[in-house]
Amino acid sequence: MTRNLDGVPLRSLTHKNAYPLLRHNAQREKHPAAGTRLTRQTLRTYGVAVGLTLGLVILGTGLLIVVVLSTSPVPEVTVAEPPPTEAPLASVGTVVIEWSENERAASAVFVDREKEPVPSFGPVEIELPPGTHVVEMVRRGFHPVEQTVRVAADERICLRPQWVPLVPVPEPPRYRPERVATLANDAVRAETAFDDWLQDFEAAQRKAAAEDKDVLLLFDGSDWCGWSKRLTAEVFAQPSFDELIGEKYVPVFVDFPRSSAARASVEDPSRNARLKNDFQVDGYPTVVLTDAVGAPLGRIGGYVPGGVDAFVARLESCREVKRQSGELRRRIERSREPAEKAATVRAPERFREDQNLLPFDDCQQGGGEHGR
């Protein structure tokens, strides 16, 4: 059986249905895309559905990510801090010790009791912070040299140690009982030299007035001043000294020790300080002579070489002031005329000015060595 393009048997075609069928075939041949219009709409619908589905999937995925991120802990972010910058070094001062290289063997330097290295070659320079420091230089065979320096920032201070050699013992190093006994006796005499001396100046004045004597005050640094120790050993600790001054002076010991044992023997430190201020003492040892009422006759400042005899001679020269002052006083008492009396009233003061006693200088020029 023959069929047309639409699958309709040709036998079944009549005049009633043949025309619409032919018309339909003609339109399909004229417009071939009209047969596929239903298929494109379906695809468009499918595309819209797929697009919506993908959109919903993407939206849901985004919401899920947001929920997960909001519920998960946020890691801490550590910001690295920049390394601290080093503070600039404070300015320091420099102490330069003039010390030849051949003198540095068996030597040392201590700054504020701390040992500092001493180079074998080159300059000896020590950097110190600003302030006051105690520099002690030690060398074998010589006395230590100690100096107090005040260092400022960026300042260079030069020290020149004056080395004093240790006095060698003239005798060979062997045991001699008689020498040991002599040294022991000297040490005992030095320690007990001032046991019989008064420490109260007013009590000494009363005793001097009762016995018609003068007062001898010794301002001393008994346990630390080298010149004081030397003068004590050579003069005050000698038995002959007590014999020579016993008839003329009442001795007073005004001590300024540093060790606790020696300070315990001082009766009244504040009284000693007042006496030092009143008599303008600025070094040790210093001997001051006064009469019984406290008027100064003179003073001997520092160490006096020559032993007992040389020291007593200095005392006698100071006592000459008292003798001449008494002479002037008697002249005033004998003066009868007003003009003569007025002229002699100023004589003792002029005499004291001539003897440098008003500013209380030494009764003789050329005082000895002081320890301060």
Name the average pLDDT for the chain.
76
Cα–Cα distance measured from residue 189 to residue 178, given in angstroms and rounded to the nearest whole number: 16
Q: Is the pLDDT of residue 297 over 60?
A: yes
Phi, psi values for residue 367, rounded to 5°: -65, 165
Residues 360, 289 contacting (CB under 8 angstroms): no
Q: Is the pLDDT of residue 132 over 60?
A: yes
pLDDT in tens, 52-104: 888 888 888 877 787 767 676 655 656 666 666 655 555 888 988 888 888 88
| Banded model confidence at residue 182, pLDDT cuts 50, 70, 90 | very low
What is the third-level CATH fold of 177-354?
Answer: Glutaredoxin (3.40.30)
Cα–Cα distance measured from residue 125 to residue 120, given in angstroms and rounded to the nearest whole number: 12
Cα–Cα distance measured from residue 244 to residue 48, given in angstroms and rounded to the nearest whole number: 141
Q: Is the pLDDT of residue 243 over 90?
A: no
List where CATH 2.60.40.1120 sits in the chain: 93-159
Report which secondary-structure segment, H or E, holds 149. strand 145-151
Q: Which value, to the nearest 10 degrees, does the dihedral of the CA atoms of residues 183, 184, 187, 193 take?
A: -110
Phi, psi values for residue 11, rounded to 5°: -70, -30
| Banded model confidence at residue 205, pLDDT cuts 50, 70, 90 | very high
Between the ranges 69-78, 303-312, 347-356, where is the mean pLDDT highest? Answer: 303-312
Q: Is the pLDDT of residue 364 over 50?
A: no
Measured over the CA atoms of residue 128, residue 132, residue 134 and residue 135, the dihedral's sign is positive
Between the ranges 67-81, 106-120, 225-239, where is the mean pLDDT highest? Answer: 225-239
What burial class does residue 180 get, using C-beta atoms within 10 Å of its C-beta: 0-12 exposed, 13-18 middle, 19+ buried? exposed
pLDDT score for 183: 42
User: How many other CB atoms are there within 10 angstroms of residue 229's CB atom?
Assistant: 19
pLDDT score for 366: 37
Q: Is the pLDDT of residue 306 over 80?
A: yes
pLDDT in tens, 16-33: 555 555 565 665 555 555
Cα–Cα distance measured from residue 230 to residue 370, given in angstroms and rounded to the nearest whole number: 11
pLDDT score for 160: 87
Measured over the CA atoms of residue 150, residue 151, residue 153 and residue 159, the dihedral's sign is positive
pLDDT in tens, 86-100: 555 558 889 888 888
Q: How many CA atoms lie within 13 A of 70 on its CB side?
A: 6
Q: Which value, to the nearest 10 degrees, does the dihedral of the CA atoms of residues 114, 119, 122, 128 take?
A: -20
288-315 mean pLDDT: 89
pLDDT score for 178: 44
Higher pLDDT, 60 or 255: 255
Peptide bond into 285 cis (omega under 30): yes
Q: Is the pLDDT of residue 171 over 60?
A: no
Given CATH 2.60.40.1120, say whether it is the number of domain 93-159: yes
pTM for the whole thing? 0.44
Cα–Cα distance measured from residue 124 to residue 137, given in angstroms and rounded to the nearest whole number: 12
Residues 213, 179 contacting (CB under 8 angstroms): no
| Banded model confidence at residue 341, pLDDT cuts 50, 70, 90 | low
Amino acid in the structure at residue 202: E
List where CATH 3.40.30.10 sits in the chain: 177-354
258-279 mean pLDDT: 92
158-184 mean pLDDT: 61
pLDDT score for 184: 43
pLDDT score for 365: 36
